[in-house]
Amino acid sequence: MTDRRAAAPGETGPRRNFYGRRQGRPLRESRKRLMESLLPRIAVTVTPGKEIDPAAFYPTPMRAHWLEIGFGGGEHLAAQAAANRDVGLIGCEIFLNGIASALSHIDAAKLENVRIYPEDVRDLLPVLKPQSFERIFLLFPDPWHKARHANRRFVNQANLDIVASLLKPGGEFRIGSDDPVYIGWALAHTTRHPAFKWLAERSSDWRVRPADWPPSRYEQKAIAQGRVPHYFRFRRV
């Protein structure tokens, strides 16, 4: 993929490198309408230096708050929101086609407990209120196979520090991947981090998707193509 710089429309401040695409195929008209009507109502915006408290997004108190980093087409995000309507979810995704797909799921299920950050998640994470989340999801991220691109992988010391700071004590960090390189990379980095305890006790704990972990379209595609997903759960200690 090409090296692009991601920026919000009308942005005037400095931008950082973003490696990937902002958009694929042209959006169908129904999804364009959702991007124009629904997204502005549920979008999270960042004001530099201003802390964001997820609890402020919802008119009624939520029993918990969860965060999904890179939700793809939004299948997992929407399924979790539908199954847990008393949980507030923030989904982060910069790929416009994925955002439009998620909006269609949110609209169809009439989900009022989802908010979307449609820009680079690296701008959002540092301004979120510490210890705000009971769960954080990182599901099937871009593995960046080449060794020279390893620094682009989300799982690294700095990002794990941020994830740890955002989770409440006892909170859960979930990572899913079907890429052997990323599986080894993520497991090695996260198990070395002092803030996380791997919850696996037997091989089925990472080979079998937990019952409360809805599948995504990408995961199903990976299985159909013969790749083996792994499901990691870590406790914030």
Question: Is 0.85 topped by the overall pTM?
Answer: yes
pLDDT for 227 equals 94
pLDDT for 146 equals 64
End-to-end, the C-alpha distance of the chain in Å comes to 37
Q: Which two tokens stand for residue 234?
A: 């870590």
120 among known catalytic residues: no
Count of residues in the chain: 237
CA distance 189 to 35: 37
For residue 133, what are the β-bridge partners?
167
Tally Cβ neighbours within 10 Å of residue 1. Answer: 11
Instruction: Show pLDDT as tens, one digit a residue, over the chain (237 residues).
Output: 223 334 333 333 444 555 556 656 788 898 999 999 999 999 999 998 899 999 999 999 999 999 999 999 999 999 999 999 999 999 999 999 999 999 999 999 999 999 999 999 999 999 999 999 999 999 998 875 666 767 878 999 999 999 999 999 999 999 999 999 999 999 999 999 999 999 999 999 999 999 999 998 889 989 999 999 999 999 999
Buried b (16+ CB within 10 A) or exposed e, 120-137: bbbbbbeebeeebbbbbb
CA distance 141 to 122: 14
Catalytic residue among 142, 179, 205, 212: 142
CA distance 33 to 107: 11
pLDDT for 218 equals 85
